[in-house]
A and B are shown apart, each in its own frame.
Chain A
Amino acid sequence: MSIEQDEIQKIAELARIRIADDQIGPLTDRIGEILAMADTLQSVDTSGVVPLSNPMDAIQRLREDVVTEKNRREDYQAIAPAVENGLYLVPKVID
């Protein structure tokens, strides 16, 4: 399955990664090569095979719904790029 430059731009947008204009071409080539390698998967008949998402076929473990962690908001916000009054700052979203 080959991939076109406009598709790379679309997935880069989905992944929220800016790609410089002069990088789109080479990146499309590299990703095209990776997807071409992955095309061998299509040659295998997998009808009826249950997908394996956890190697041990483990299921999500549940625990009691009780507080186990201390509130360390200040420690966590101390490493943020921008905070004010206990809130994380981002550029204005709504006018």
Chain B
Amino acid sequence: MHSQTVARISQGLKDREFSSVELTRYFLDRIATLDRHFNAFITVDEESALAAAAAADERLSSGNAAPLTGIPIAHKDIFCTLGMRTSCGSRMLDNFVPPYNATLIDNFQQEGAVLLGKTNMDEFAMGSSNENSFYGPTRNPWDLERVPGGSSGGSAAAVAAMLAPAATGTDTGGSIRQPAAFCGITGIKPTYGRVSRLGMVAYASSLDQAGPMAHTAEDCAILLNTMAGHDPRDSTSSEEPTDDYTAQLNQPLQGLKIGLPKEYFGEGLDASTGQHIEQALKVLEQQGATLVEVSLPHSNLTIPTYYIVAPAEASTNLSRFDGVRYGHRCEDPQDLHDLYTRTREEGFGDEVKRRILVGTYALSAGYYDAYYKKAQQIRRLIKQDFMTCFEQVDLIAGPTTPGPAFALGAKTSDPVSMYLEDVYTLAVNLAGLPGLSMPAGLVGGAPIGLQLIGKHFDESRLLNVAHQYQQQSDWHLQQPQSPAGGNA
């Protein structure tokens, strides 16, 4: 049961092969017995999950079920859940029980999906390895000595280890796509504004976007149908009409033009990873797509641009954690200044502090023009590179990461080397574009991902291309060995 897709499970529920309570119990038991190896979950509430499953079973019997009715879904612990602790991977919010749901959580609940649990993540979504969590690192189900990627590493590991059929994540600079690549699953970051940010703890508001993580592109399409749409309570939510993201999955790829940015295939790309990407592209070519070399000339500036823009926005967003209204508060504050400074010293981890300080510096008098304004100007140049390419091609393809998952602890003492891991994913967020990662090979036993980048609001096309690829390849069907021995 655990290795089946959402599409298959959804059919099984409708055909009464099993109930949602049986299904939910099954995944809860897997979490209880196996998650000690991975640390993918921060919070699991069995009672409320089973109650939601029982309600879903009633809805299934009454015949008005939606596609996700009764399906257990794991949510990144960045989405506010009414009455259930939402920690964002931080000591600052270790005691935070939100008084409201994120719009995304409401959307899943209206469909009758079951909230299976809240997944581990880098603190405040800042990180590329899940090692910045207050709750300890998540481990990669393919190799427990490697990172799962980040910041949605708990969600990626939960799906890869088949502790959940699907999960949600958020992506500010690659945080859905990179862990999806490292854990051998499929994930899509939609266009900026496609999915509501209300109730999603903010990191960098002009970059943050939520998306689905699952075994297949088809499953991502099913989840995105529930997630996407205008939210009047999020002022940056798009009013662009949504698609039925499953409708175009079976379109043939004849006539499709795919751009390959030469900057994504040069120095820094691991050779074996590059070979797998070339092979995946050949499959798309055999399916009728044309491959065209393109150029994104400002690619070498995406890391410095992102690591000014995102910390600047973070320093503003995270000023709300002041020990007054919710979250952590230091003991016995001597005065208001002591309350603020000690609460924030104790509540935030090292990487969060670094980004707040870099952002504060970049926004401070005398440095604003040299750093923040400059980065925003280059951000426009980076976006223009993509717009120029899209006059020539329908989508862009390349590697999601420079190589497979790295070892736990390998980059924790050197933040800049960690930042370099995001080289192929950051530009997508800076330009607000949709980006997808799907499994395209194993290097030394660890998965790597092929990234597809689309025009604004062209999620259907990315899911179509990924689905077509998954009809002709089986990388997405590969499973890690269970830590207990044998198949997971």
- Seen from chain A, the residues whose Cβ lies within 8 Å of a Cβ on chain B are 1, 3, 7-8, 11-12, 14-20, 27, 30-31, 33-35, 37-42, 44, 46, 49-56, 58, 60-61, 63, 68, 72, 75-76, 78-82, 88, 90-93
A14 / chain B contacts, CB cutoff of 8 Å: 360, 364
Cross-chain contact B361 with A17 (CB below 8 angstroms): no
Chain A CB within 8 A of B371 CB? yes
Q: How far does the Cβ of B176 sit from chain A's closest Cβ, in whole Å?
A: 16
A38 to B315, alpha carbons, bound, how many Å?
Answer: 17
Q: How far does the Cβ of B143 sit from chain A's closest Cβ, in whole Å?
A: 28
A1 to B374, alpha carbons, bound, how many Å?
Answer: 14
A8 / chain B contacts, CB cutoff of 8 Å: 357
Q: Which residue on chain A has the smallest CB distance to residue B207?
A: A55
**Interface code B418-448, partner A: CB below 8 Å = 1, 0 otherwise?**
0100000000011111000000000000000
B379: which of A7, A51, A68 is its contact (CB, 8 Å)? A51
Chain A CB within 8 A of B97 CB? yes
Q: Which residue on chain A has the smallest CB distance to residue B313?
A: A53
Cross-chain contact A80 with B377 (CB below 8 angstroms): no
A8 to B374, alpha carbons, bound, how many Å?
Answer: 22
Cross-chain contact B344 with A55 (CB below 8 angstroms): no
A72 / chain B contacts, CB cutoff of 8 Å: 99
Interface of A is mostly: loop
Decide: A17 near B353, CB < 8 A? Known: A42-B374, A53-B206, A79-B97.
yes
A35 / chain B contacts, CB cutoff of 8 Å: 358, 361
Within 8 A of A (CB), among B315-330: 315, 319, 322-327, 329
Q: How far does the Cβ of A13 sit from chain B's closest Cβ, in whole Å?
A: 8
Q: Which residue on chain B has the smallest CB distance to residue A78?
A: B99
- Seen from chain B, the residues whose Cβ lies within 8 Å of a Cβ on chain A are 96-99, 192-193, 206-207, 232-233, 235-236, 238, 298, 300-301, 303-305, 307-308, 315, 319, 322-327, 329, 333-342, 344-345, 348, 353-354, 356-358, 360-362, 364, 370-371, 373-381, 383, 414-416, 419, 429-433, 456
A13 to B251, alpha carbons, bound, how many Å?
Answer: 57
Cross-chain contact B329 with A33 (CB below 8 angstroms): no
A60 / chain B contacts, CB cutoff of 8 Å: 235
A58: which of B236, B300, B342, B364 is its contact (CB, 8 Å)? B236
B304: which of A11, A33, A38, A50 is its contact (CB, 8 Å)? A38
Decide: A76 near B335, CB < 8 A? Known: A46-B381, A50-B380, A56-B432.
no
Q: How far does the Cβ of A15 sit from chain B's closest Cβ, in whole Å?
A: 4
**23 sampled A-B residue pairs with Cβ under 8 A:** A11-B361, A12-B357, A15-B357, A15-B360, A19-B345, A30-B354, A30-B415, A31-B358, A35-B361, A37-B303, A37-B419, A38-B307, A39-B304, A40-B300, A41-B304, A44-B374, A51-B379, A56-B238, A79-B97, A79-B325, A81-B323, A81-B326, A90-B333
Q: Which residue on chain B has the smallest CB distance to residue A82?
A: B329
A68 / chain B contacts, CB cutoff of 8 Å: 233
Cross-chain contact A54 with B236 (CB below 8 angstroms): yes
A39 / chain B contacts, CB cutoff of 8 Å: 304
Cross-chain contact A55 with B431 (CB below 8 angstroms): yes
B308: which of A7, A38, A44, A53 is its contact (CB, 8 Å)? A38
B303 / chain A contacts, CB cutoff of 8 Å: 37
Q: Which residue on chain B has the smallest CB distance to residue A10?
A: B364
Decide: A41 near B308, CB < 8 A? Known: A55-B431, A76-B325, A80-B325.
yes
Cross-chain contact B99 with A54 (CB below 8 angstroms): no
Cross-chain contact A18 with B99 (CB below 8 angstroms): no
Cross-chain contact B301 with A40 (CB below 8 angstroms): yes
Cross-chain contact A49 with B236 (CB below 8 angstroms): no
B416: which of A7, A12, A33, A76 is its contact (CB, 8 Å)? A33
Q: Which residue on chain A has the smallest CB distance to residue B365?
A: A14
Q: Which residue on chain B has the smallest CB distance to residue A28?
A: B357
A38 / chain B contacts, CB cutoff of 8 Å: 304, 307-308, 362, 371, 375
